[in-house]
Structure 1
Amino acid sequence: MIHRKDIKTLHQNLDTKFFELLKNPQLPHILLNDVTSFQCLCKILSCFIYLSTAVFIMTPLILMANQYFHQIHPIKIMFVFPGVYPWKISPNGLYYKFHFIAESASILFASFVSGGIDCLFTLYIFQINGHLRDISYRITHTNDKTNHKKMIRECILQHEMLMQCRDILEQTFGPIILFTMLVNTMNLCTQMFEFSQVSTEKSAINFFYEIKSFLHR
């Protein structure tokens, strides 16, 4: 919400003008040369994020069901996010259901936002790359019939627009990337310490949390 106007300007400059470039019959095969790689990258990233989210949510339920079927009493309560609360929570109580639904909803929203931001950033980089290819193509394919002054002026204006988009990307996504790197660093250090303090069985459980944190970088 803070950079809403900047993102709107970025989208208008890149997305709208990128589709205008595609109308030129000579440019689609140049602009979309690596689109398959970007598309596969986004699909793989999204699949891993959503798969890890499902594993993250289902792991506590599976482990608690395993305790129930093996008649282990009292059943050890497990949450989506490991934590301790000052009030008493029973496995089938209302408090546990509320906590589990709230934590599951929060991790789902975080997964959707994280995956969307990563894919959107990749899309903007791809479109900037396409504009640079258009500039390169226009400069290297000049002839006697081309209005050189007009073409150079348009390329300069297009390059200035790309520099503006670069600044917006840096201002908008830079703090997000920096914050993510710092949080993941602290998270990895904390979980490595937890791995060294727990048994082999509990380490397998924590392994799922490690995968989830890694995919949300």
Structure 2
Amino acid sequence: MSWQDNIASNFGWVQDWQTLLGALLATAAAIATVLVMHSQTQQARKRDAHAMERKSFAARARMPDALRDMNDYCHAGATKILRNDKVLPNEPLKALEELKIAIEFIDTEKAEQLFDLLSHYQVYTSRFPDFKTFSPGQGIYDSAKLNYYINRLYGYARNREDEVEGESENERIKNSMKTLVSVKDKVTYEKDFDAARKLVDAYHP
């Protein structure tokens, strides 16, 4: 083999290795790009998770004040129902707005409970003018149920668990009825409270 043939052979070998090396470098670059993109995606997910967590904390921190305003509304409503005052109490609009925002960021179980509260509130306000017409007992029952929905979220909002284990929904609604109005009104309108307790037993056996 002549020296020209040796040079041609060596040059062909180098060309083959250059092609292979180029392919390896391209593959390495592609892998590096994928790893960088994956890292960026993970960092973005962590940032989003942290942002959502902060929003959840913020929503939860505003819940106690909103629930207190809802509770005040509920107590005022119960008193008006007993005294045949068909004018709605001032609606807790700010509290409602805070709770509607919170439902997007809090735990799913508590979001469902908050949805129950907001849904029952709509029913409560729509029925309010007619409570004395068909049954004040129904009005007290609906007030107690609204109060129950409010109270069961207080523990979560304050980062503690207030519900008594093993207590039935029937018992919890009846317990919420005890704090609705003054002792004087409870004694004066005992027949209406008795009718409300019977409704609790009928609807929540």
Band of TM-score, shorter chain:
under 0.3
User: TM-score, normalized by length of structure 1?
Assistant: 0.26
Q: Which has the higher contact order (CA 8 A, sep 6+)?
A: 1
Greater C-alpha radius of gyration: 2
